[in-house]
Amino acid sequence: MSLFNVCSWWTTQCGDITGDYDVASLLCARFGLETQEKDYLIVGSQSGQLSIYYPHANAFDATDLLLETQLAAPILGLYAGKFSGNVRNENLNQLAVLQPNAIVIYNVQTISGLAEYGAQLKLQLQAEHKFQRVAFSMCQGHFGQVKGREFFCVVHLDGTLTFYEQDGISYECRFPGQRSLPAPVVYCERTDSFFRFSATWHLQCFSYQDLSHSLVTKSSYQPIWSQCIGEGILDMRVVQLKETCSYIMILGERNFISLDDNGKFNFILKLDYAPKCFHSFVVGYYWEPGARLITAIVSDTAKLHIYEEANIIWAAQWQQPAPVAIQRSNVQSLAGSIVTLSATGQLTVGYLGAQPYQFQVQPLNQEELSFAQAHKQLQQLEDEIKESVDIRDMDALNQQAADQVRFSFSIQPEVCDDLDTLLLDVPADVAVKELPSAKGLLKLKMKAELAELQLVVQTPSGVRCSQDSLSLVDVPAGSSREIPLDFYMAELLHVHTTRVEVFVSFLSTRGIPRVLQQSAYLPLSMFYRSCQPQKAAGIKLTYTITSKHVPPKLNTFFREFLEPDSEAHALGLQLLCPGLEKLSEVITVVAAKNSTRLRIQSDHVETFAMILERIVETTLQLDSAAGLLKMHKKKPKRGVRNRCVERIIAAPFIPIQPILHRADVHHETQQNIRKQTEQLEVLWQQFKSLQRELQEQSESEPKETLTMQIEANYDHLILEGDKLVEIRRDEQRQRGDLNCAVALAKWIIYALNLEERVVNVVSSVLSVPVEDWTELSWEESMAPGIDMLHHFGPLMRSKSTSTHGLLDGNSTKDTFDYGRFRRHFATLFDRIVRLATSSSDEPTSQQQPAAMEQPAEAAQTAQQTDEIGNMERMLGGDKPTAAARAAKPNLSSSLEAVEDAEEYDEEDLRDTGYRKDYGPAVASDQQPGEQQTKAKRSEWVNEDFELPTTEELFSDLGIWW
């Protein structure tokens, strides 16, 4: 922020408030109407209004406005000079007004005022030249180095130049080249040449003699010299600083450039702001040795920067919006003033003052961050948001948005093999596999008029859509559109989901945003093909269909691979992608004959995610279609079990080691990428140092050794860069494998017999798809969530750590501890399995006395055991199945289920509020049976000798939902 302001001395609002103004709308000039004349301020708007001001004092007065008239055409530019030879007074200047189809030259005449009303001006038409082409800009000067008169040149939109002389002679010419865009053209009187900015961002110099003779001789001509500027320009001016040369000042989009009239660069100044306009002038006379070149540049943040050649000498701030035009003028009572014009017509005469800008930097808040206080403030903000938003109106708003834009999205269940790989630009390594593709259809129908609509199709990693986005503007009501879509494999990666989501966001004409979302699932036959089922596998999962509305048959879930009336109980599926030659990734699904259980087994973690997704989603859809209440309509409460188990329940088993192995490989690849990047940075610094040494050497010194070092360094740099590219490819494949592994864990936890709040928390922490950033890997982004569960959830060590979370505990650590993250990650899965196992065993333990009294129920249990044995025999397992599973002791609390003797010791649990005690002292008259009953209780009890409830155990989890 600048310490000084541009002080306002005189200001007024031009008459045309709605008119547009630009850099050519302002002119400061003298017309020679009086002896001690000062500058007149001429303003012309693009709506055709012309105003002439003559400030007299430091405040606007009505007499300062000498002329205000409305012309018939927009004003593109204002120019003052000796454009006519019929004027007797040599000191008089004419006013030239450039319009789109003509240029009009006026004589400015003064009319003496009566009493105190002051003088006025009037315009007398001197000449008018019509154009056959639309004008763009104009330049003036003593073309041909004539004395006492000025010619002018009009630049048209098609790049044509039209020259006009005072005798009425006019001729046209074109610049050489295939294309000539309209651009500023300036004239240099010292060399009698024109400077033009070409469409290729080159500054070209043409002599006036070549341009004037080109029409007569019909000969081709080339520029005298040409220099590459390398960017677009905003404005260009020519000033003469010395007798021997003139300077061309160019204001680019990001640089301020100066060249002499021979094409040699004087300086290039890189600007750290976005410029809007500039004005260059010479202080003194160019034939004097002490002449100074001064440039004023205005930024888009309303700052004025004053440069002497390439050195900044002053900076000031405007208190108004940034102007679009700036001039230096000598008005009455204020010499060297700064005249500016804003885009809305605010005309200001100011000066560089020394009044300090009253700005005080606020002191920094150095208070230490407290997690408890931050959590309390977050809760207060959430309460305020809930109070300000009426949730009861959300359904009505969503329905209103759905009524404004109706769209449907569907994917055909059949796959096709006629994909045009060349048209869709499928990579060659994928096209060779000839993988199947799927077709979809998206229908849009707009019931209301929309200002803007945007559609985005989100596909899983490795799958691409033929049209993944669509943008529409000014959508009329009643319009509709159907978009056919093709989904195909674009990369040879493991895919973790078949879900495709479509998001439609739109703005109404009143500016109200709305978002709609729909999803569909790709057919499994796009990723699998049927094969022979496997008899044994390393990973085995079991799901039980508990809903009465879902037939527990393979035909219910995998219709793409079975006939409609098939009664098959085993199905083998082989992954088509990535399609490794030496490895066949097969998964087997087996349905029990006499129960509702499904066994899914495979040796590869990557094969499970899409199969489990199909089983769980199909079960929920069929159950919801039967008329039951949808799960997401109910708000999860404390102590409520996972409602998914009412439809499907999973056996409490998570393949921890394969999942951790994928995470280990992914983390190792991230470390290799960082090491390779650091090595490339070192080689790049060496390469730049060698180049710098080569440039600093003189011509007489030998350069062969240094050149060989540069070539060797460059070859090494290319080699290491290729290695980094290969590691990046491995990272992409491993990211897909990790996606499948994490998705497998999520689908298992989703159907476990746990509290619904615990399922929601863990599912929100295990995020897919996996994302890696330049400075933060997936493991580092997951660590806060896992660590938070360690402090506030099933992994909590003690109550004392609840107020010292991750933000306070890890604030002093500079490096990421992957070992700690891996340990917590494994412990999380282990505790979840224990909790689910204890929850599944409690009903079994309670039913044991009743089973002893009812032999019929015991026989039914034995029958289920036989069914499990039948499933093992169907799969061909070598290990015999036990006749009956041993019953576990009755656990009255979930604490025993999560107890970990290896990590938690006695002091940790005492900090939590539980101590190792067996209850009150046993009286001497107690029976041994009672003592034995006491011994069956858990040894960890609280102060009241009571075990903690599940609600107490997970009370701190409320911060997550």
Give the strands of the sheet with 292-299, arranged side by side.
275-283, 292-299, 303-308, 311-317, 4-13, 346-356, 334-341, 325-331
Contact 622, 559 (CB under 8 A): no
In the DSSP assignment, the letter for residue 641 is B
**pLDDT tens-digit readout, 326-349:** 999 988 888 888 999 998 888 999
What's the mean per-residue pLDDT of the chain?
79
From the list 481, 405, 402, 396, the residue with the least C-alpha distance to 448 is 405
What sign for the dihedral angle of Cα 604, 610, 611, 613?
Answer: positive
Could you say which architecture CATH assigns to the domain 527-630?
2-Layer Sandwich (3.30)
**pLDDT tens-digit readout, 709-744:** 999 999 999 999 999 999 999 999 999 999 999 999
What sign for the dihedral angle of Cα 297, 303, 307, 311?
Answer: negative
Give me the pLDDT at residue 98, please: 93
Residue type, 923: A
Q: Tell me the pLDDT band of 220, cut-offs 50, 70 and 90.
A: low
Contact 451, 508 (CB under 8 A): yes
Higher per-residue pLDDT: 630 or 75: 75
Helices 704-750 and 656-696 pack at an angle, to 10 degrees, of 160
Distances in Å between the alpha carbon of 76 and those of 20, 26, 187, 306? Answer: 11, 10, 19, 28
Residues 6+ apart with CB under 8 A from 705: none
Q: What percent of the chain has pLDDT above 70?
A: 78
Largest separation between any pair of C-alpha atoms in the chain: 138
Residue type, 4: F
Stretch 432-447: mean pLDDT: 91
Higher per-residue pLDDT: 213 or 655: 655
Tokens 């044509």 found at: 160
Q: Which two tokens stand for residue 182?
A: 């309209």
Residues 6+ apart with CB under 8 A from 221: 176, 206, 210, 211, 214
In 10 A of CB 763, how many CB atoms? Answer: 15
Contact 240, 233 (CB under 8 A): no
Q: What residue ranges of the chain are covered by domains with CATH 3.30.310?
A: 527-630
Where helices occur in 369-502 by DSSP H, the ranges are: 371-388, 394-404, 428-431
Contact 135, 150 (CB under 8 A): no
In 10 A of CB 225, how many CB atoms? Answer: 15
Q: What are the residues facing 236 on neighbouring strands?
A: 250
In the DSSP assignment, the letter for residue 755 is B
Stretch 134-148: mean pLDDT: 86
**pLDDT tens-digit readout, 155-210:** 888 888 888 887 666 778 877 765 667 788 999 988 889 998 888 888 999 888 88
Instruction: Supply φ then ψ for residue 907, to 5 degrees.
Output: -70, -35
Contact 73, 99 (CB under 8 A): yes
Degrees to nearest 5, angle at CA 888 with 883 and 894: 145
Region of poorest pLDDT, from 154-163, 380-389, 661-670: 380-389
Give me the pLDDT at residue 900, please: 39
Residue type, 29: A
3-state secondary structure of 92: coil
Residue type, 800: S
* DSSP H or E segment with residue 227: strand 225-228
- The b-or-e profile of 576-610 (16+ CB within 10 A means b, else e) is bbbbeeeeebbbbbbbbeebbbbbbbbbbbbbbbb
CATH of 396-524, one of 2.60.40.690, 3.40.640.10, 3.40.50.1460, 3.40.50.300: 2.60.40.690
Residues 6+ apart with CB under 8 A from 212: 143, 144, 163, 171, 173
Degrees to nearest 5, angle at CA 610 with 553 and 523: 75
Residue 392, classified by CB atoms within 10 Å of its CB into exposed (0-12), middle (13-18) or buried (19+), is exposed
Residue 291, classified by CB atoms within 10 Å of its CB into exposed (0-12), middle (13-18) or buried (19+), is middle
Q: What residue ranges of the chain are covered by domains with CATH 2.60.40.690?
A: 396-524
What sign for the dihedral angle of Cα 422, 424, 430, 433?
Answer: negative
In 10 A of CB 948, how many CB atoms? Answer: 19
Whole-number Å distance between alpha carbons of 816 and 783: 9
Give me the pLDDT at residue 267, please: 92
Within 13 A of 287's CA, how many CA atoms are on the CB side?
Answer: 1
**pLDDT tens-digit readout, 573-613:** 999 888 666 778 899 999 988 888 999 999 999 999 999 99
Tokens 């003036």 found at: 140
User: Where are any strands of DSSP class E within 557-607?
Assistant: 570-575, 586-591, 597-602
Give me the pLDDT at residue 917, please: 38
Residues 6+ apart with CB under 8 A from 829: 654, 656, 659, 745
* DSSP H or E segment with residue 663: helix 656-696
Length of the chain: 961
